[in-house]
């Protein structure tokens, strides 16, 4: 692995390998602690968008493994504005041992990787959120032991989180079902990507409009905010469209009795996800958030070639 930009760029075997390593590193962390395999390595963290989980989980992942992390705010770099992306990439390649970028446009992280001589990690782009997808898969594996044959249901906007969840679910042998309002589908490129990943008898993909139909037999129900960063001008329009897609007690009751409810956070409570579900017995939203730490340790370890 040279970079980690999108889950679908890797084989199912490679993704499974990273997840197995994440499981091992998590167990190690809670027993004797992680070995300092990242000693002498610094992760440069480029942020165009603010984040709680991305910043803290990557920073702590480096610290737990003996390395360090450097936060670079939007004002400090002005990626593609104050300085070209190519120049930023080549400069940082001489200062740090890896880069993580949380950007608006997917092409920006692709461009960073194109010019870098060090590994580049997609911390979020408008197309996909691969580190979130890996943490999601780790959480599902911890609950069910395997993803093969599970029904992973996503309810809401077909955004970057949905894309990565679809990719990792299909690659790990789960069925992926998405229910969204008309006009809020996943991008066509993502659908084509999903069709390729779903080939064969291992996993299936369904695109639905009815969340109640999607919830039938669901082992996982996943949702995200109705309005993502950068879409603020659409808030009123989306607030009028998405209420039927709220994940509430009624929807959860229509799923498998052992269903888990997931959300990548931050959540707008009692909008896309009701309080009683978020804090209820089916919710795994906080273990899911914590698993960002362990999944990202595994990704970085493979990129550094140290585990």
The catalytic residue positions are: 102, 129, 132, 224, 264, 292
Phi/psi of residue 222, nearest 5 degrees: -125, 140
Nearest CA-CA partner of 96 in 43, 171, 164: 43
Report yes or no: 22 and 142 within 8 Å, Cβ to Cβ.
Answer: no
Nearest CA-CA partner of 206 in 173, 176, 248: 176
Burial class (CB in 10 A: 0-12, 13-18, 19+), 294: buried
As beta bridge partners, residue 99 has: 44, 120
DSSP E strand stretches across the chain: 42-47, 68-72, 98-102, 120-124, 151-155, 175-179, 205-208, 220-223, 260-263
Report yes or no: 179 and 201 within 8 Å, Cβ to Cβ.
Answer: no
Nearest CA-CA partner of 177 in 214, 147, 144: 214
What count of other Cβ atoms lies within 10 Å of the Cβ of residue 91? Answer: 14
Report yes or no: 124 and 230 within 8 Å, Cβ to Cβ.
Answer: no
Nearest CA-CA partner of 304 in 130, 139, 111, 67: 67
As beta bridge partners, residue 152 has: 176, 220
Nearest CA-CA partner of 274 in 241, 252, 289, 291: 252
Angle, alpha carbons 127-59-23 (nearest 5°) = 75
């Amino acid at each position: 692995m040279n970079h980690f930009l999108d889950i679908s760029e890797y084989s199912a075997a490679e993704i499974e390998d990273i997840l197995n390593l994440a499981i091992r590193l998590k167990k190690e962390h809670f027993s004797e602690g992680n070995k300092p395999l990242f000693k002498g390595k610094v992760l440069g963290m480029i942020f165009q968008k603010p984040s709680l989980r991305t910043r803290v989980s990557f920073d702590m992942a480096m610290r737990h493994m003996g390395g360090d992390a450097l936060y670079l705010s939007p004002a400090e770099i002005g990626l593609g504005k104050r300085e070209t992306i190519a120049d930023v990439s080549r400069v940082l390649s001489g200062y740090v041992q890896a880069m993580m970028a949380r950007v608006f446009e997917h092409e920006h992280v692709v461009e960073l990787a194109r010019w870098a001589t060090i590994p580049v990690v997609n911390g979020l782009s408008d197309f996909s959120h691969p580190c979130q997808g890996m943490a999601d898969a780790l959480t599902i594996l911890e609950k069910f032991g395997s993803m093969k044959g599970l029904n992973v249901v996503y309810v809401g906007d077909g955004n970057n989180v949905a894309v990565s969840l679809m990719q990792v679910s299909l690659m790990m042998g789960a069925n992926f079902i998405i229910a969204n309002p008309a006009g809020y589908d996943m991008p066509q490129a993502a659908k084509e990507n999903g069709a390729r990943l779903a080939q064969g008898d291992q996993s299936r993909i369904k695109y639905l409009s009815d969340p109640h139909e999607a919830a039938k037999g669901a082992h996982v129900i996943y949702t995200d905010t109705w309005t993502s960063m950068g879409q603020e001008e659409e808030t009123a329009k989306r607030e009028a469209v998405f209420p039927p897609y709220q994940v509430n007690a009624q929807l959860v009751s229509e799923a498998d009795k052992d269903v888990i409810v997931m959300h990548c956070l931050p959540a707008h409570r009692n909008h896309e996800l009701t309080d009683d579900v978020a804090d209820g017995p089916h919710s795994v939203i906080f273990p899911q958030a914590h698993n960002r730490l362990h999944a990202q340790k595994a990704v970085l370890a493979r990129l550094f070639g140290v585990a």
